[in-house]
Structure 1
């Protein structure tokens, strides 16, 4: 039978058999019981998340400044101290909304990774929109975080168009269950948002090798712009990436979470953010239904409560065999 991600329509019975988790099941069975509401602000506020990470020795991009009011907007360039590349993001944004990546400056203009030019006024307008809540959760007034732009490791840039790919690891009670890369394309304008045309590339938990890739929900083997293979690429420093992801579980106490990371050429893996409601496209990127990974964890915790981080990592690697493409 043709694999489930190669067909646009499946019956509910087929989806259940394949272990596909929908948003209602995710929320009712995993997010709500595992993520106490009081803990959400630990991850919904990026400034607070970074502060907690620094306290625990988790590597994160350097913060250049936090824009909180119109005066900060007018004077944002003072926060940059002559730096030409940086990232602006809403403190309470989600799904990559409102993220602005500046790769450099030329003739007084700011340059996006695509080469598009922005004036100082354009950047100020973007900051004002963030403060007004245009990109925040619930549309509430927000603040803007200005931080270090990751210098992506070369293996990662080889499969991403003009933008550094990020890595998402989904964990359940501290056990890594699925991972993927989100690599940019010409269509996604250097961003790693799958809904804007980025690639979702599944990564094997055990080896850190890419095993499957999708573009707009369809399986692909090659990058649509770079024409390079997407399967069989080994993600550098995979062990460290998994360790950081598990540390984020310990840091937040959230039972069901997604951890986003990037690999810097000089600084290694950096934690970018933590998500208490990670999306479900990771199933498509891997060709694996989440239920196939979540149910074994539930059984494991019942039999072996209180496992250490190292024991949880070992279980995930041994239990979740490499995905075979085909």
Structure 2
């Protein structure tokens, strides 16, 4: 397991606990009490570290190489009921954007999300989770299909941004994202959006308009990444931690500003530390929100969604 810089005290204690257990198994020495003390200290250290995380540390957790990605959630929540659908019917099938039909707790959903890779080969295959215009057009095609058949939509957001290459701009990256935002505001089926990792820029907004927008505890959602913000304001990436604080991009900040609806709590140590619990919690959140949204008529859904976004950024003195 990989550890981040601020997790090194946890690493040391886990190594001590592992060695203590090995000694107990390989010798006649009773180390039960010692193991209990180390385990107690380990739990306390974890609570102290994860209770006081900075904005930059949460950004680091959202990018943890062991953190589950979209397909991990889909396989865990849908099992063998998931049927992936491909292509935008115009250019090609974008591997950075996945989508398809699946059942979560017995209810059918159209699931759309960005997918990152696990190693060098798959990261290149998935284009590091950065979708091209055809990815957003595929997502929209699937969402319109869901609307046609009355199937609710779930969007799992995890991207460092839309692909910024020249070829993406030539094929209309800005138009594709803008069209998705417009069309998602008037979909006549429930739309639930969950930020499961990084939620950066228009790449996230392209599938980020929903009746309910939820964020996992250690994720971030912002118009720009801390590194890019730092490079623009200070001409250097060295101020990324300061930029992360200033951007107010954490789940807690987003909820406080009423830009997201709720926060999904992660297991102690982050989503990657206990994947099964994370998958179960996310599935329950989807079901719970859908149960509320399905009571609304299509007209009510659209109206409330439009009112919600129209009210963002409006303040009274």
TM-score scaled to structure 1, two decimals? 0.26
Structure number with greater Rg is: 2
Q: Which has the higher strand share?
A: 1
Q: Which has the higher helix share?
A: 2
